[in-house]
């Protein structure tokens, strides 16, 4: 179990799984050049790319933040037993996620807040779990936070033309927490969780995507969701993820996030970087570079 200390705040990574991307690098990152990719891969651990499969490697994990006596879980990953025949990478998984949460010293009842940066299937799955044939909230005492703009985009009751597969994700992984009264939809503005943590709009990947910023004295961190998917995008922020809904806006948000991390010396906590998962961003010429930040706590 890996943890990082950011000022008075402890952050722990809870793994769901490590996997290859389902598509080639060119499909996963639009605009990618192989010669540039090969150069950048030399600047990071080799396990960020599978040469055997010709696939980028990504991680699925949550970040558990202990701040001011509260437990905040950022990202709910893919979830177990979810029917996703249209997305084999996410279909009927059976991972030890809850055991990994227990290894971090937590039960689902201990979580006070769940933040979904957006409502894609690999970020909402553990919002719910299957119990006696019904999808019920995994974290019974938590408030589930996500953007109202995001809800309007993925909620089939608010967007009747939504694709049936996308609607099914909402129905099994979001709707149960809405019905339980645990969902809190956020307006399109900055929201302070406490004196150290704030949620901010970061659209582009999806319309209502948000990030979480942590500022504690001279230490900082930014939990960026899918603003970035792979470390090569630090050097090449114009490489667009194939699932970015608004590519130009996604690029602008990506550069804004990288600039804030570089200028504030804040660590970047992405949702999909392979080990060591966390990056320190710096300015490099007219762009950005990174050094990985290994865990500071056992």
CATH number of the domain within which 251 lies: 3.60.15.10
Is the pLDDT at 298 greater than 80? The verdict is no
Query: For 32-50, what is the mean pLDDT?
Result: 96
Query: For 204-226, what is the mean pLDDT?
Result: 96
**Does residue 140 come out as left (phi exceeding 0), alpha (psi in the -120 to 50 range) or beta?**
alpha
- Which H or E element spans position 65? strand 55-67
The CA-based diameter of the chain, rounded to the nearest angstrom, is 57
Is the pLDDT at 297 greater than 90? The verdict is no
CB atoms within 10 A of CB 261: 25
Detail the DSSP E strand segments found in 68-162: 70-74, 113-115, 128-131, 134-137, 143-147
Name the band, by pLDDT with cuts 50, 70 and 90, for residue 79. very high
Query: For 132-159, what is the mean pLDDT?
Result: 98
CB atoms within 10 A of CB 161: 5
Name the band, by pLDDT with cuts 50, 70 and 90, for residue 142. very high
Domain count, the chain: 1
Give the length of the chain.
298
Q: What is the pLDDT of residue 296?
A: 87
Whether residue 117 is contained in a domain is answered as yes
Whether residue 298 is contained in a domain is answered as no
Cα distances (Å, whole numbers) of residue 188 to 76, 117, 146, 210, 270: 21, 13, 10, 9, 22
124 and 169 Cβ atoms separated by less than 8 Å: yes
Q: Give the tens place of pLDDT for each residue, 249-292.
A: 999 999 999 999 999 999 999 999 999 999 999 999 999 999 99
Whether residue 297 is contained in a domain is answered as no
Q: Give the tens place of pLDDT for each residue, 152-192.
A: 999 999 999 999 999 999 999 999 999 999 999 999 999 99
Q: How far apart are the first and last CA of the chain?
A: 7
How much of the chain exceeds pLDDT 90, in percent? 98
137 and 128 Cβ atoms separated by less than 8 Å: yes
85-116 burial code (b ≥16 CB/10 A, e <16): eeeebbeebebebbebbeebebebebbebbbb
Q: What is the pLDDT of residue 62?
A: 98
Average confidence score pLDDT of the chain:
97
Q: What is the pLDDT of residue 217?
A: 84
Question: How is residue 280 written in tokens?
Answer: 């320190």
- The conformation of residue 187, written as its DSSP 8-state character, comes to P
Query: For 56-77, what is the mean pLDDT?
Result: 98
Task: State which residues form the domain around 250.
Answer: 3-292
Q: What is the pLDDT of residue 98?
A: 98
Bridge-based pairing of strands 113-115 and 70-74 is: parallel
Q: What is the pLDDT of residue 84?
A: 97
């Amino acid at each position: 179990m890996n943890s990082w200390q950011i000022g008075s705040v402890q952050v722990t990574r809870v793994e769901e799984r490590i996997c290859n991307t389902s598509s080639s690098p060119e499909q996963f990152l639009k605009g990618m050049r192989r010669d540039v990719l090969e150069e950048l891969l030399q600047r990071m651990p080799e396990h960020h790319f599978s040469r055997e499969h010709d696939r980028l490697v990504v991680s699925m994990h949550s970040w558990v933040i202990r701040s001011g006596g509260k437990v905040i879980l950022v990202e709910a990953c893919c979830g177990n037993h979810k029917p996703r025949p249209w997305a084999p990478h996410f279909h009927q998984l059976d991972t030890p996620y809850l055991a990994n949460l227990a290894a971090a010293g937590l039960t689902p009842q201990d979580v006070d807040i769940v933040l979904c940066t957006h409502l894609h299937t690999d970020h909402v799955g553990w919002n719910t779990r299957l119990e006696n044939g019904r999808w019920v909230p995994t974290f019974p005492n938590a408030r589930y936070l996500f953007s109202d703009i995001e809800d309007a985009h993925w909620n089939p009751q608010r967007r009747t033309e939504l694709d049936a597969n996308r609607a099914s994700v909402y129905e099994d992984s979001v709707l149960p927490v809405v019905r339980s009264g645990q969902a809190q939809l956020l307006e399109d503005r900055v929201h302070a969780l406490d004196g150290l943590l704030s949620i901010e709009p970061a659209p582009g990947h999806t319309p209502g995507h948000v990030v979480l910023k942590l500022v504690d004295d001279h230490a900082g961190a930014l939990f960026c969701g899918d603003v970035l998917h792979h470390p090569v995008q630090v050097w090449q922020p114009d490489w667009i993820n194939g699932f970015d809904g608004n590519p130009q806006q996604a690029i602008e948000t990506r550069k804004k996030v990288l600039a804030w991390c570089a200028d504030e010396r804040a660590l970047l906590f992405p949702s999909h970087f392979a080990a060591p998962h966390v990056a320190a961003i710096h300015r490099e010429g007219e762009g950005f570079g990174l050094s990985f930040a290994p865990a500071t706590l056992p």
